[in-house]
A and B are shown apart, each in its own frame.
Chain A
Amino acid sequence: MLTAVAAQLVCVAALLGIAVLAVALSRAKAATALVYGATLIVCALALIGALRALLAGTGADEIVLPIGLPWLGAHFRLDALAAFFLAVVNLGGAIASLYALGYGRHEHAPQRVLPFFPAFLAGMNLVVLADDAFSYLLCWEFMSLASWALVMTHHREPGNARAGYVYLLMASFGTLALLLAFGLLAGPAGDYGFAAIRAMPHAPGEATMVLILMLLGAGSKAGLVPLHVWLPLAHPAAPSHVSALMSGVMTKVAVYGFIRVVFDLLGPPNWTASVLVLSLGGVTAVMGILYALLEKDLKRLLAYSTIENIGIIFVCLGLALAFQANNQTLAASLALTAALFHVFNHSLFKSLLFFGAGAVLVSTGARDMDKLGGLIHRMPVTSVVFLIGCVAIAALPPFNGFVSEWLMFQAVLLSPSLPQWGLKIMVPAIGALLALAAALAAACFVKAYGVSFLSRPRSEAAANAQEVDHFSLAAMVILASLCLFAGIFPGLVIDALSPVTQQILDSRLGAQSHLPWLSIIPIAERRGSYNGLLVLVFIAISASLGYLAIRRFSSHAVRRGPAWGCGFSDAVPQAQYSPDSFAQPLRRVFGTLLFAAREHVEMPPPGSVKPARFSVEIHDLVWETLYGRIAGAVDTASKRLDRWQLLTIRGYLSLVFATLVTLLLVLAIWS
Chain B
Amino acid sequence: MVVISDILVQGIQMLLVFLLAPLLTGFIRKVKARLMRRKGPSILQPYRDLLRLLRKEVVLADNASWLFRATPYLTFAAIWVAAALVPTFATGLLFNWTADLIVIVALLGTARFFLALAGMDVGTAFGGLGSSREVMIAALAEPAMLLIVFCVALVAGSTQLSTVANFIASSQVGLRVSLGMAMIALVIVALAENARIPVDNPSTHLELTMVHEAMILEYSGRHLALIEFGAFLKLLLYISLIACLFFPWEIAVFGAGPLSYVIGAAMYLLKVTIAGFLLAVFETATAKMRVFRVPQFLGAALMLGLLGTLLLFVSKSL
For the complex, what is the distance from the CA of A561 to the CA of B61, rounded to whole Å?
5
Cβ–Cβ contact B143 & A439, under 8 A: yes
Q: A542-B80, A576-B124, A576-B128 are in contact. Are A432 and B154 (CB under 8 A)?
A: no
* Distance in Å: Cβ of B131 to nearest Cβ of chain A: 6
Chain A to chain B: the 5 pairs with minimum beta-carbon distance, closest first: A577-B128, A450-B120, A557-B57, A455-B123, A543-B77
Contact with A along B147-163 (1 / 0, CB 8 A): 10110011001111001
Q: A413-B153, A576-B128 are in contact. Are A455 and B121 (CB under 8 A)?
A: yes
Contact with B along A577-600 (1 / 0, CB 8 A): 100011111101100000000000
Chain B residues whose CB sits within 8 angstroms of the CB of A530 once the complex forms? 98-100, 103
For the complex with contacts A406-B102, A564-B217, 20 further pairs of A-B residues with Cβ separation under 8 Å are A396-B113, A435-B146, A439-B109, A439-B138, A440-B139, A442-B109, A442-B113, A447-B135, A455-B128, A531-B98, A534-B98, A539-B78, A540-B77, A542-B80, A546-B73, A546-B226, A562-B62, A566-B206, A575-B125, A582-B132
For the complex, what is the distance from the CA of A565 to the CA of B205, rounded to whole Å?
11
Q: A526-B160, A584-B132 are in contact. Are A454 and B123 (CB under 8 A)?
A: yes
* Distance in Å: Cβ of A155 to nearest Cβ of chain B: 36
B304 at the A interface (CB under 8 A): no
* Distance in Å: Cβ of A382 to nearest Cβ of chain B: 13
Interface 9-residue window, one of B194-202, B261-269, B306-314: B306-314
A330 at the B interface (CB under 8 A): no
Interface residues in A520-544 (C-beta closer than 8 Å to B): 525-531, 534-535, 538-540, 542-543
A142 at the B interface (CB under 8 A): no
For the complex, what is the distance from the CA of A103 to the CA of B149, rounded to whole Å?
45
List 7 interface pairs A-B (beta carbons < 8 Å), by A numbering.
Answer: A373-B123, A394-B109, A530-B99, A547-B73, A561-B61, A564-B61, A589-B140
Chain B residues whose CB sits within 8 angstroms of the CB of A416 once the complex forms? 154, 312-313
A614 at the B interface (CB under 8 A): no
Q: A406-B102, A577-B120, A585-B133 are in contact. Are A555 and B56 (CB under 8 A)?
A: yes
Cβ–Cβ contact A396 & B159, under 8 A: no
For the complex, what is the distance from the CA of A565 to the CA of B218, rounded to whole Å?
7
Interface residues in B50-89 (C-beta closer than 8 Å to A): 54-63, 65-67, 73-74, 76-78, 80-81, 84
* Distance in Å: Cβ of A270 to nearest Cβ of chain B: 21
Chain B residues whose CB sits within 8 angstroms of the CB of A455 once the complex forms? 120-123, 128
A553 at the B interface (CB under 8 A): yes
* Distance in Å: Cβ of B170 to nearest Cβ of chain A: 14
For the complex, what is the distance from the CA of A121 to the CA of B143, rounded to whole Å?
39
Q: List the B residue with the shortest CB-CB distance to A446.
A: B116
B129 at the A interface (CB under 8 A): yes
Chain A residues whose CB sits within 8 angstroms of the CB of B60 once the complex forms? 558-561
Cβ–Cβ contact B77 & A526, under 8 A: no
Cβ–Cβ contact A406 & B103, under 8 A: yes
Cβ–Cβ contact B142 & A436, under 8 A: yes
For the complex, what is the distance from the CA of A135 to the CA of B84, rounded to whole Å?
57
For the complex, what is the distance from the CA of A429 to the CA of B147, rounded to whole Å?
9
Cβ–Cβ contact A439 & B142, under 8 A: yes
For the complex, what is the distance from the CA of A459 to the CA of B137, rounded to whole Å?
31
Interface residues in B195-230 (C-beta closer than 8 Å to A): 206, 217-218, 221-222, 225-226
Cβ–Cβ contact A581 & B54, under 8 A: no
B272 at the A interface (CB under 8 A): no
For the complex, what is the distance from the CA of A562 to the CA of B62, rounded to whole Å?
6
Q: A429-B306, A527-B158, A566-B217 are in contact. Are A554 and B222 (CB under 8 A)?
A: yes
Q: List the A residue with the shortest CB-CB distance to B222.
A: A554
Q: A413-B159, A529-B160, A562-B62 are in contact. Are A585 and B77 (CB under 8 A)?
A: no
Interface size class on chain B is: 35 or more
Q: List the B residue with the shortest CB-CB distance to A569.
A: B124
Chain A residues whose CB sits within 8 angstroms of the CB of B76 once the complex forms? 542-543, 546
Q: List the B residue with the shortest CB-CB distance to A416.
A: B154
Cβ–Cβ contact B136 & A586, under 8 A: yes
Chain B residues whose CB sits within 8 angstroms of the CB of A586 once the complex forms? 132, 135-136, 139
Cβ–Cβ contact A558 & B122, under 8 A: no
A395 at the B interface (CB under 8 A): yes
For the complex, what is the distance from the CA of A74 to the CA of B97, rounded to whole Å?
51
Cβ–Cβ contact B124 & A563, under 8 A: yes
Chain A residues whose CB sits within 8 angstroms of the CB of B77 once the complex forms? 538-540, 542-543, 546
Cβ–Cβ contact A425 & B132, under 8 A: no
Interface residues in A371-422 (C-beta closer than 8 Å to B): 373-374, 376-377, 387, 391, 394-397, 402, 406, 409-410, 412-413, 416
Chain A residues whose CB sits within 8 angstroms of the CB of B225 once the complex forms? 554
* Distance in Å: Cβ of A465 to nearest Cβ of chain B: 14
* Distance in Å: Cβ of A403 to nearest Cβ of chain B: 10
Q: A373-B123, A397-B110 are in contact. Are A446 and B135 (CB under 8 A)?
A: yes
* Distance in Å: Cβ of B151 to nearest Cβ of chain A: 9
Q: List the B residue with the shortest CB-CB distance to A397.
A: B106
B282 at the A interface (CB under 8 A): no
Chain B residues whose CB sits within 8 angstroms of the CB of A397 once the complex forms? 99, 103, 106-107, 110
A262 at the B interface (CB under 8 A): no
Chain B residues whose CB sits within 8 angstroms of the CB of A373 once the complex forms? 123
B27 at the A interface (CB under 8 A): no
Interchain CB contact (< 8 A) of B218 among A387, A535, A564: A564
Chain B residues whose CB sits within 8 angstroms of the CB of A433 once the complex forms? 143
Q: A526-B163, A543-B74, A550-B54 are in contact. Are A394 and B113 (CB under 8 A)?
A: yes
Q: A387-B67, A539-B77, A539-B81 are in contact. Are A559 and B139 (CB under 8 A)?
A: no
Cβ–Cβ contact B143 & A570, under 8 A: no
Q: List the A residue with the shortest CB-CB distance to B146.
A: A435
Q: List the A residue with the shortest CB-CB distance to B211.
A: A585
Cβ–Cβ contact A543 & B73, under 8 A: yes
Chain B residues whose CB sits within 8 angstroms of the CB of A557 once the complex forms? 57-58, 221
Chain A residues whose CB sits within 8 angstroms of the CB of B238 once the complex forms? none
